[in-house]
Structure 1
Amino acid sequence: MAESALGLGLLALVAVIGSAFLVSARLTSFLARGQLQWLHVLDHPNARSLHAQPVPRTGGLALLSGLVAGCLLGLLIRGTTSDALQAAAPLAWLGAALLLVATVSYWDDRIELSRRLRLLVHLAAALLLWLGGLRWDQLGLPGAMMPLPLLLALPLTLLYSIWMLNLYNFMDGMDGLAGGMASIGFAGLALLGYQAGDLTYALCCAAVAAAAAGFLTGNLPPARIFLGDVGASSLGLLAAGCTLWGASTGLFPLWIGWLIFSPFILDATWTLLRRARQGERIWDAHRSHHYQRLVLAGWGHRRTLIWALLLIAAVTASALAATRLTTLEQWQLIIGWAVIFVLIHYRVGLAERARPG
């Protein structure tokens, strides 16, 4: 970026972060007190829960309001030049997909829609990402950027988008965890976009990070409000869309995005595969994610959350550093993190076996 553009970019980032955080935090506080009864939806404890009392689950509305406020301000600052409008095209497609997911998720929070209807909407949202050019169309591994044929790229894009959307919902089961992943992970994506010179991408991701941080003001343990399906599913779609956006526009290879969200991707995927292998109904409520097992093993919410956020911060920092590494060093980084995640898996098992009684 030129010096003047750099200054404008920093100003825009500060404005977007401030507006998204303030709107989200204020609405989070407002909704946590149950001020709007027609929006008031409670999350009652169930077989999956780690909480004992009903908690409002409308925090996703506050987060999305902060996100919209931040993005609109960013677009106003960017202006209506042809370059700015062209750069914002992926954001328009992502916004359309987000509107679909947020709408069906909001009603699911209120009246519990059928899985088939939710899946059809998730598929439609994934198709919108594809139509907007947010695609998994390259192999995207260190030293292997081979283009993928359409017959492979399309189903991979759809599966990746739908899985990210749902796994984020699965992982939203502990105070502060989903919001913390979003705050740190999207901040990392914003930095990657800013370093690559894509201000629109950086502003969008910064708005998500700031809105999630605003939501955390009411969601850190003991939480006064939850994301609900409208918040968790929306963050999952944004994680898929923004990683595909960054990869498809050449800001970073897709594996960098996977690394940032690897704590969620690996926990959810491993848990689903293990439950499927054991013949369990994978869509039923449960408490067998690694973070849930640590809480139940006696670590408690705060200790588990602190270590989870440290892990998320570490993988995000590694992803930022990876763009400056050689291909060999990038593979070493991936292998190193694979070993760490295996050790974490065994550490969780040790914590369970050491639990009194």
Structure 2
Amino acid sequence: MLEWLVVHFCIGVAGTWLARRYALMQSLIDQPGERRSHSVATPRGGGIAIVISLLVAAVALGVRQPEQAPLMLAFGVGLLMVAGIGWVDDHRPLSPWLRLGVHVLASALFALAIGDLHDSTWLALAAFVSTLVLTNVWNFMDGINGLAASQALIAAIGLALLAGGAWGLLALALAAACLGFLPFNFPKARIFMGDVGSGAIGFALGALCAVAAAHVGEKFALVLLPVSVFVVDSALTLLRRLLRGERWWTPHTQHAYQAWSRAAGHARVTVCYAAVSLLVIIASWGVMPRDAFFIAGTTGAWYMCCAFFWLVLQNKFSGAAS
């Protein structure tokens, strides 16, 4: 187990260092602007190191556990599709509809595979929704130093226990790779994750949610807890933009974390989000022995609490939002 974590941590560190050198040579630089939350020109694309770590893990686990090989293959291909379109977009901006189309295909591939494995149409539908939604949630929420990587790290730890087996190890590989990436991105960002990383991480977490839901059965609401902070912030911000008639697919700085970071700074917001998510993970382990009805009620109550705090943050800090 320790060797597994060390290997993927090292891939995260070495891969991010190499990605930064490549980004500087290719002038893949995110410039500050009205629709961005950073103030210093910074290279992008460091998330490719996390993608490589996940692909190495998927291949290794598929070989070691042949019964999981078909699903690992579908996951790996879907991950490559999402990361690939993100990598291209990091080099030259693409149409958001083209990216979404690739995300849909990747999600459909994984959904068909897991639905066939478990002979469940409902699980296939859940997998399609979770991978497609979280792919875009992590892309939306990757806006300040360390936030997307730290939230992915924490969520992966929570999902590792719920998924178990080979997929638990895949989740731990994701966590270790994110930990290797973080020193380059927090508290000061020397490189950004880029679309190649944020989308792929979201896809991986969505797949882990689906596998974990299949593993825990009627207690499936548990899988909604590790990703709750990001899901609520992105969903409510998107809903507000739709209600305002805005072009919701365009870049903006209206998320609660962005509004708060303008007043408190990136580091404080990232640490606070991490602290809340860690508490949620600990609480989810605590309620795991309870019955499904209690878990569903607890999950619903927590989401309402997140919505309340989203409103508080928006009302207090969104005056300068654009």
- TM-score, normalised to structure 1, is 0.81
CA distance in 2: counterparts of 1:353 and 1:283, whole angstroms: 19
Q: How does 1:31-46 map to 2 (within 5 A)?
A: 31-34=19-22, 37-38=25-26, 40-46=27-33
Classify 1:122/1:339 alpha carbon distance in 2 versus 1 (closer, same or farther; 3 Å): closer
Q: Percent identity?
A: 29
Q: 1:189 aligns with which of 155, 159, 183?
A: 159
Classify 1:353/1:206 alpha carbon distance in 2 versus 1 (closer, same or farther; 3 Å): closer
Amino acid at match of 1:284: T
Query: Contact 2:20–2:191 at 8 Å: present in 1 too?
Result: yes
Classify 1:58/1:331 alpha carbon distance in 2 versus 1 (closer, same or farther; 3 Å): closer
Q: 2:114 aligns with which of 127, 133, 143?
A: 133
CA distance in 2: counterparts of 1:263 and 1:125, whole angstroms: 24
Report how many residues are paired: 319
Deviations 1:140-165 (A, max 9, x none): xxxxxxx8xx5x77665434432221
CA distance in 2: counterparts of 1:35 and 1:288, whole angstroms: 28
CA distance in 2: counterparts of 1:33 and 1:321, whole angstroms: 44
Q: How does 1:1-357 map to 2 (within 5 A)?
A: 13-34=1-22, 37-38=25-26, 40-74=27-61, 78=64, 84-133=65-114, 150=121, 157-194=127-164, 198=165, 200-250=166-216, 253-296=219-262, 298-349=263-314, 351-352=316-317
Classify 1:351/1:321 alpha carbon distance in 2 versus 1 (closer, same or farther; 3 Å): same
Displacement, 1:322?
A: 2.7
CA distance in 1: counterparts of 2:318 and 2:78, whole angstroms: 44
Displacement, 1:354?
A: 9.7
- TM-score, normalised to structure 2, is 0.89
Displacement, 1:134?
A: 5.2
Classify 1:69/1:95 alpha carbon distance in 2 versus 1 (closer, same or farther; 3 Å): closer
Classify 1:222/1:252 alpha carbon distance in 2 versus 1 (closer, same or farther; 3 Å): farther
Amino acid at match of 1:126: S
Classify 1:317/1:112 alpha carbon distance in 2 versus 1 (closer, same or farther; 3 Å): same
Q: 3-state DSSP class of the match of 1:286?
A: coil
Query: Contact 1:134–1:244 at 8 Å: present in 2 too?
Result: no
Displacement, 1:48?
A: 2.7
Classify 1:113/1:314 alpha carbon distance in 2 versus 1 (closer, same or farther; 3 Å): same
Query: Contact 2:134–2:206 at 8 Å: present in 1 too?
Result: yes
Displacement, 1:332?
A: 4.4
Displacement, 1:286?
A: 0.8
Deviations 1:11-70 (A, max 9, x none): xx22221101011112223333457724x5111223331111221111111222233344
Displacement, 1:101?
A: 1.0
Amino acid at match of 2:242: A
Q: 3-state DSSP class of the match of 1:284?
A: coil
Q: 3-state DSSP class of the match of 2:157?
A: helix
Instruction: Structure 2: give runs of 5+ residues left out of the alignment.
Output: none
Structure (1 or 2) with the larger CA radius of gyration: 1
Task: Supply the RMSD in Å over aligned alpha carbons.
Answer: 2.6
Amino acid at match of 1:112: P
Query: Contact 1:101–1:122 at 8 Å: present in 2 too?
Result: yes
CA distance in 2: counterparts of 1:156 and 1:202, whole angstroms: 19
Displacement, 1:342?
A: 3.4
Query: Contact 2:86–2:199 at 8 Å: present in 1 too?
Result: yes
Displacement, 1:268?
A: 0.5
Query: Contact 2:36–2:253 at 8 Å: present in 1 too?
Result: yes
Displacement, 1:242?
A: 1.1
Instruction: Structure 1: give runs of 5+ residues left out of the alignment.
Output: 1-12, 79-83, 139-146
User: More helix by proportion, 1 or 2?
Assistant: 2
Deviations 1:63-111 (A, max 9, x none): 22233344445556x3xxxxx2003332111111111111111101111
Amino acid at match of 1:188: G
CA distance in 1: counterparts of 2:32 and 2:78, whole angstroms: 30
Query: Contact 2:42–2:190 at 8 Å: present in 1 too?
Result: yes
